Structure 1
Amino acid sequence: MAVGISVGSGVRWRVDLFASVGQSCFQDVRCIGELVYIGYGQQVAVFSPKTASLASHSLDGYFGHVFTTLDLESPNLGSSVLVASASELLRFDGAGQLLWRRS
């Protein structure tokens, strides 16, 4: 699978997701702030169009869902993003850095 990302009519990127990351019945691509979160198989990738950097995080089980503070109606999370897998929860800050992971 591949994900195409473009900013306006300008720069374009392609992020390839290989079968080696496993399978999941869930997949998601979310633009949150200046970042793109891609959940597929047993991984979540965070892409920054601003810096053209990609960080991939392996999950302990299949990818489930990406949640924002608006999804959860929880202003206490600030600009955090939560990623749920089959057996863990990951929290990212507004810059896409992994803050913690819990089983």
Structure 2
Amino acid sequence: MAKGPSKHRPVFHLLVLASGFVSGGLLTQVARRFLPAGAVKEFLTTGVTPAVGPLPVDLIILKFAVGPVALDVSLLSLLGVLIAYLIARSLF
């Protein structure tokens, strides 16, 4: 039987993506803390942070707000996603 992404469910792909972003975020925070100031630190740790919210929800008897939700994407977080993908691909 051929190996391929079609045999995996979407939950598997979401878990790989989430674990990649978490590990990449950890790499980013370690680099921000321990790398000396300079061009390399700026290049690796500068990120784009899209945000959504707050989103108010009014259900007549229940009112609440969701957010703000933000995602900090840097080069190291994308590297973490790539590493998680390669590990998952080699295991399965």
Question: TM class by shorter-chain length?
Answer: under 0.3
TM-score normalised by the chain length of structure 1: 0.21
TM-score normalised by the chain length of structure 2: 0.23
Structure of higher CA gyration radius? 2
Q: Which has the higher strand share?
A: 1
Q: Which has the higher helix share?
A: 2
Tell which has more relative contact order, 1 or 2 (C-alpha 8 A, sep 6+).
2
